[in-house]
Amino acid sequence: MAEAYVEALRGIVPDERLRVDLAERYSYSFDASFGEYLPDVVVRPDSDEEVSEIVKLANEYNVPVYPRGSATSLSGGPLPVHGGIVLDMSQFKHKLEIDKENMIAIVSPGVLTSDIHEAAAEYGLFYPPDPSSAHVSTIGGNILENSSGPKGLKYGTTKEYVIGMNVVTPTGERVRTGGRTVKNVTGFDLTRLIVGSEGMLGIVTEVTLRLIPEVKARKTMLATFETSVDCGRAITNVLSKGILPAAMEFMDNACIRAVEHFKPVGLPVDAGALLILEVDGHPYSVDDEMKEASEVCESAGAMTVEVAETEEQRANIWKSRKMVSPAVTEMGPTKISEDATVPRGKIPDMMERLAEIREKYNLNLVVFGHAGDGNLHPNIITDKRNTEEMKRAEDAVSEIFEAAVELGGTLSGEHGIGTLKAPYMVMEYGEAGVELMKTIKAAWDPNNILNPGKMFAENGQTKVELT
Ligand SMILES: Cc1cc2nc3c(=O)[nH]c(=O)nc-3n(C[C@H](O)[C@H](O)[C@H](O)COP(=O)(O)OP(=O)(O)OC[C@H]3O[C@@H](n4cnc5c(N)ncnc54)[C@H](O)[C@@H]3O)c2cc1C
């Protein structure tokens, strides 16, 4: 059976873009999360026509299709859990056009996000979504995960910038959603439905992005606190004062120590937590807002408040934040990275819940993240060969999800549901909510061809499974 459809695929794409050898398939069997699943075949399509023909053929042979960008997903998004075809979209990158007059970018799905940042900047324009993985992840992956980063606080997530797309549907039809205009209320908003749909409702083959003018000035501050809860309170107080920073990033003591151990940048290792706060806009308002934000941090009990006076100092502050992920990775062989998100006012409560979970399960649980929008990244550092500790980690992860939902938050602020969080969808949306999503999926994809095994729990799975 596999041979029959693979032979049929050879009629659509040339041999050099179709791989069946084990080594190649193996390198497509994982992403940045857990689990390994071997596809039957890897295909690198080069045009909308090819994608459409591949998907039609997959429907004919009833074979799953797994679209994939750079596979940096932290939730299992591109994993070929039922084998079949991996559709490698990372090489689909012919186009990166900036239309300065209309302030838009027209981009192929395989283009790296950082290349869009650079291309926009050359025209004095700004594409704000900035996942930490921007130098390796594709815009296609960003769109299907609705990714964001530090700037999500002020500028929103990827979905705020996608205004049009070319899409191949799960049955192989080619459709256009949205367009080149910022305003568009014609018909159902299919663009918004597809953004964040984790590759389950369509394959994106071109995207039109809205750009904004580059900001004129920025100021960055680093404040340290005795405890995470104090820092959480400062974050909430800054926002309730009416200041909307471009970014507010949080690191707990374990992250501070990890960075200083990994590549020292002079962070105070005795601080319980630190906050990186950046304001941007007109030079006058930036100075005022930074002064006000500094005062709020001081009255929330900050141990130190330092505002960068030079570009070098500013870069050094951000370097410490960028070092967190690699530094934490060095702390142990297995990193479980979560991104449960709570309403901003509940950040101090979430900090407390995380401290309780750390103690209860006796785990190396470190916390950093985009605290200004409530999107914390609790990371459990463990070793997947230690099955007893992995079981405790599974329970701790479940409890992190419960805490977030109980506090009025969500399972995922930016990493998506994929395979890992599927069992918890009902906890957040209830049976009826999940059934409605399944109805949409079934209407678009009657043969369940596109990225099956994601978002909705399969095989009676009731909790996160890491072992
Ligand atoms: C070190 C590190 C840091 C990270 N930091 C952040 C962060 O700050 N913010 C954040 O939001 N995420 C972050 N991530 C997660 C990850 O980088 C994002 O989810 C990213 O958008 C995935 O892009 P990708 O190209 O790797 O896509 P993949 O992981 O390959 O795929 C992601 C999803 O998109 C689907 N897909 C990909 N391309 C297409 C397409 N053309 N058409 C249809 N479906 C498609 C896949 O099926 C899958 O469901 C980080 C990951 C790592 C490893």
d(CA 248, CA 244): 9
Write out the two tokens for 417.
């549901």
Pick from 391, 341, 337, 330: which is nearest to 153 by CA?
341
Q: Is the pLDDT of residue 467 over 80?
A: no
Instruction: Check if the beta carbon of residue 349 is closer than 8 Å to that of residue 404.
Output: no
Residue 204: strand pairing partners: 167
Does CATH place domain 217-326 in 3.40.640.10?
no
- Dump pLDDT digits (tens) for 11-55: 999 999 999 999 999 999 999 988 899 999 999 999 999 999 999
Q: Which atom of ligand 1 is nearest to the CA of 89?
A: 41
Which of the listed residues 145, 168, 205 should we mutate to test ligand 1's pocket, taking the one with most ligand atoms within 8 A of CB? Answer: 145
Rg (CA), the chain: 22
Q: How far is the CA of 141 from the centre of ligand 1 (A)?
A: 4
- Range 263-290 burial, b when 16+ CB lie within 10 A, else e: eebebeeebbbbbbbbbbbeeeebeebb
Maximum Cα–Cα distance across the chain = 70
Residue located via tokens 């205004």? 163
Q: Which atom of ligand 1 is nearest to the CA of 370?
A: 8
d(CA 179, CA 366): 43
Write out the two tokens for 63.
């074979």
Question: What sign results for the dihedral spanned by CA atoms 255, 258, 263, 267?
Answer: positive
Q: Count of H helices and E strands in the chain?
A: 15, 18
User: What DSSP character marks residue 151?
Assistant: T
Same fold, 2-88 and 96-213: no
Instruction: Check if the beta carbon of residue 70 is closer than 8 Å to that of residue 138.
Output: yes
Supply the angle between the helices 347-361 and 228-240 in degrees, to the nearest 10: 160
Nearest CA to ligand 1 atom 4: 133
Residues lining ligand 1, judged by CB closer than 6 Å? 31-32, 67-74, 77-78, 89, 109, 131-133, 137-138, 140-142, 144-145, 147-149, 198-199, 203-204, 325, 414-415, 451
Name the band, by pLDDT with cuts 50, 70 and 90, for residue 465: confident
Residue located via tokens 């992190």? 400
- Range 415-427 burial, b when 16+ CB lie within 10 A, else e: bbbbbbbbbbbbb
User: In whole angstroms, how far apart are CA 271 and each of 255, 302, 362, 370?
Assistant: 11, 10, 22, 19
d(CA 255, CA 272): 10
Domain ranges for the chain? 2-88, 96-213, 217-326
- The fold of 2-88 is 3.30.43
Nearest CA to ligand 1 atom 7: 131
Pick from 205, 198, 228: which is nearest to 366 by CA?
228
The amino acid at 269:
V
- Dump pLDDT digits (tens) for 135-178: 999 999 999 999 999 999 999 999 999 999 999 999 999 999 99
d(CA 196, CA 143): 6
- Dump pLDDT digits (tens) for 51-109: 999 999 999 999 999 999 999 999 999 999 999 999 999 999 889 999 999 999 999 99
Which of the listed residues 31, 86, 94, 133 should we mutate to test ligand 1's pocket, taking the one with most ligand atoms within 8 A of CB? Answer: 133
Name the band, by pLDDT with cuts 50, 70 and 90, for residue 1: low
Q: Which CATH architecture has domain 96-213?
A: 2-Layer Sandwich (3.30)
- Dump pLDDT digits (tens) for 290-306: 999 999 999 999 999 99
In sequence order, which residues have a C-beta less than 8 Å from that of residue 432 and are 6 or more positions away?
none
Name the band, by pLDDT with cuts 50, 70 and 90, for residue 387: very high
User: What DSSP character marks residue 410?
Assistant: B
Q: Which atom of ligand 1 is nearest to the CA of 90?
A: 25
